[in-house]
Amino acid sequence: MRRQAAATRGAENLEPLLATKEIVIFCGSGGVGKTSMAAAAALEAAVRLGGRVLVLTIDPARRLASALGLEGGLGNVERRVPDDVLKQAGIEPRGELWAAMLDTKQGWDDLVLRHAPNEETAMRILDNRLYHNITARFVQSHDYIAMERLFDVHATGKYDLIVIDTPPTRNAIDFLEAPKRMAEFFGGRLLRWLTMPYRMGRGRGARVINVASRPFYQLADRILGSQFLQDIAEFFLNFQSMYDGFVERAHAVERLMHDRRTTFAVVTTLEAAPLREAEFFMEELVSRKYHLGALILNQTLPAYLRSPEGARVADALVADPTPAAGALVELGIPALSEPDRTARVLHTVGESFRNFAVVATREAELRAELAEAPDVVVDVPRFEGDIHDLAGLAEAGRHLFGESSGNHR
Amino acid sequence: MLFFSGKGGVGKSTVTAAMALLAAQQGKRVLVVDVDAKGNLTDLFEHEPVGFKPVEVHPGVHVMTMHTEESLQEYLRLNLRVPVLGRIGPLARALDFVATAAPGVKEILTVGKVCWEVRESIEGRADWDVVLVDAAATGHIVAQLGAPEAIRDLVSVGPVRAQTEWMSDLMHDPAVTALNVVTTPEEMPVNETIELVGRVRSELQVPLGAVIVNRVLPELFTHADEETFEAMRDPAAVNRLVDALGGGPDVARGTTAVLDAARMAVSLRRTRAGHLAELRRAVDLPTLFLPYLFVREHGLRVTRMVAEALGEELGL
């Protein structure tokens, strides 16, 4: 561990981290480019480090999904991105790139089928009218299924490196607590208390209410009507039969997240709100003793926007573009022959630089204020177009790994 | 009752706050409900965070943060006359549990509170002229706004069922309610906007208002101006320009930086224009455009700038 820490310290690229870990979990608030960063890191790892690399993605933009061969609802199974497709994009990987998309509904169905004591119970759960709703909307449901899938895939031993994108959560911490919360949710005292009257009465229709829960039931009946509560109770009673397998699994998932082979990469843009969330998340990771591997600053503006030389030229052009325009007119190039137009364009160019310089300065200030940062901090510049194909991912990947570094393994 | 939704990170709260400011400037008494409580809505008014009880954060603008447990307490107090003080702890935990399991329970406490404020105002018991809701993001808004119907399907009897009916009536009334979608001219936000508009039309009866496109980059050049700009990037022209600006390596570096920056601005704008075209092709709602703001920080000043731009778009 110590040697590895020394190897990554101060690095400005992900390569040493990805070369020493088996699982990299990409997290951050919505809209910061997490999905593309995870895919780019996986692609570049396949290119430079070799081996079999899997990217597990959540909700890629349509064009990106099809670039990875995940379109048409076929994404739930891992598929290899064919070498000839990569070659067409000018990419010659030493290893293999695999991709899969996460399907929460399918993940839950698999989980029920695995843990239910028998097929009959499994079917009863899957047919319950609340089942879909509960599993789809339980706050940590997506997070938990993502972790489950990760655990499964890792257990196959098929991949040298797994890069996983995380669902957009309101609070990034939810994600860390998903396994624990799931175990609590299905095994808690509250659940036993809630289903008590139904268990005592053995099944649907029984209304034996014990003393402790009476006020709640009276109130709930008044508000919601009793049929509804019975449906809930029935669902959870069935679900409880899977409890042991379920909790054991949740604990195993949690151990894997804490394992030294697992690391977290936090993605953010240099904007106030996502950055604040990223900082909070990094603090939480550290205090909960997860391995915080890297911070990725995505969509940063180029450094030249903050150059004093650029600012001086821009100021001169905004103040008076006519002398420079005059010099250009003398060149005799048709497009530069109109003095007014040329001066106007120069003025606009200067003004636009000053505008973007303000934003670049704001970004630099936010970066300087970063309190807690991991050893690896990587910048990925804002691309002029979207990242929607393999070539775009490869370009982002080159930034993640640093242009200069060569092949290691 | 105006709801604002949109993909996370597009500036939904900023647009809601700007709309509130604009309405207050028109002399309206505004309530802003922060539902997707990230707690930064009051930052936009440079005010400390507020709770469930509305606080005037700016002249004419009250803000409240949605809290389902407090909403339930209020509901029980007002509707069922249940003495809940002291017993709300275990009850709230049980509710949390039920709310997780049942579609629409959490949501009904949210939209229920909003609808209640609107109804009280319509019937003269509350003072709001406008209630603005910084609502759930695109992934969750359909469940939020469809809560009354979801509850009605689920609960066969009882006071809650009766309550959902007047809520539905309010939320489906185009004279009262509109759902606005905030987006930016980027791929994912535009896709989610198109998808959301489709879902709202097929699954809800809530009237759609406008699409508000935030952070639109300025058009730098006309077509002819852009040709002139491209000609300037020719090496001979760049050299001439460097000489005219005083010459030397510093000026050369500065000139390159300035030209590169303009090139980047043009490309960024062009990519975004493509997404906007896609949006306009797929969505026929009124569309408002708010400029990208080249400013250093956020706060009331920025909210004012956005409000001003919004006012211009609305012709106020």
Inter-chain residue contact B188 with A309, CB threshold 8 Å: no
Residue B104 has pLDDT above 80, yes or no: no
- In terms of phi and psi (left: phi > 0; alpha: psi -120 to 50; beta: otherwise), the region of A11 is beta
Q: Is B249 exposed, middle or buried (0-12, 13-18, 19+ CB in 10 A)?
A: exposed
Give bridge partners of residue A396 from the DSSP assignment: none
Chain B CB contacts of A365 under 8 Å are 296
Residue the block writes with tokens 């402790």: A212
Mean pLDDT of B43-55: 93
Chain B CB contacts of A310 under 8 Å are 253-254, 257-258, 261
Q: How far is B4 from chain A (nearest CA, A)?
A: 17
- Residue A318, classed as helix, strand or coil, is helix
Inter-chain residue contact A274 with B82, CB threshold 8 Å: no
Option in A62, A193, A327 nearest B191 (CB): A62
Structure tokens at B132: 């603005």
Residue A349's pLDDT is: 97
With the C-alpha atoms ordered A227, A229, A235, A241, is the resulting torsion angle positive or negative? negative
Chain B CB contacts of A228 under 8 Å are 102, 154-156
- Residue A226, classed as helix, strand or coil, is helix
C-alpha distances (whole Å) from B316 to each of B34, B131, B173, B209 are 25, 19, 24, 17
Instruction: Determine contact: B77 vs chain A, CB below 8 A.
Output: no
Helix or strand (DSSP H, E) at B275: helix B249-282
Render each residue's pLDDT in chain A as its tens digit; 409 residues: 333 444 444 568 999 999 999 999 998 887 888 889 999 999 999 999 999 999 998 777 777 888 887 776 556 789 999 998 899 989 999 999 999 988 878 888 888 888 888 888 888 888 877 777 667 655 567 778 888 888 999 999 999 999 998 876 656 667 777 777 777 766 666 666 666 655 554 444 444 444 445 566 666 666 665 566 666 677 777 777 777 777 788 888 889 999 999 999 999 999 888 898 899 889 989 999 999 999 999 999 999 999 999 999 999 999 999 999 999 999 999 999 999 999 999 999 999 999 999 999 999 999 988 877 888 999 999 887 788 889 999 999 999 998 644 433 3
Sketch out chain B's domains with CATH numbers.
2-218+283-313 (3.40.50.300)
Mean pLDDT of B241-261: 96
Domain residue spans in chain A?
Answer: 2-173+247-300+381-401, 308-368
Residue B91's pLDDT is: 59
Using DSSP bridges, classify how beta strands B61-65 and B55-58 pair: parallel, antiparallel or unpaired.
antiparallel
Option in A138, A222, A224 nearest B100 (CB): A138
Q: How far is B94 from chain A (nearest CA, A)?
A: 7
Residue A208's pLDDT is: 43
Residue A61's pLDDT is: 76
Residue A245's pLDDT is: 78
E runs forming strands in A134-288: 161-165, 262-269
For residue A169, the tally of other CB atoms under 10 A from its CB is 22
For residue A119, the tally of other CB atoms under 10 A from its CB is 9
Q: Tell me the per-residue pLDDT of A339-348, one tens digit each, with 9 for 90 and over.
A: 999 999 999 9
Would you say domain A2-173+247-300+381-401 falls under CATH 3.40.190.10? no
Q: How far is A400 from chain B (nearest CA, A)?
A: 21
Instruction: Determine contact: B217 vs chain A, CB below 8 A.
Output: no
Residue B313 has pLDDT above 90, yes or no: yes
Mean pLDDT of B63-87: 74
Q: Tell me the per-residue pLDDT of B165-182, one tens digit each, with 9 for 90 and over.
A: 899 999 999 999 999 999
Give me the total of CB pairs closer than 8 Å, taking one residue from chain A and one from chain B. 215
Q: In what order do the strands lie in the sheet with B208-216?
A: B55-58, B61-65, B30-34, B130-134, B2-6, B178-183, B208-216, B287-291
Inter-chain residue contact A305 with B261, CB threshold 8 Å: yes
Residue A229's pLDDT is: 66
Residue A77's pLDDT is: 84
CB A288 within 8 A of CB A177: no
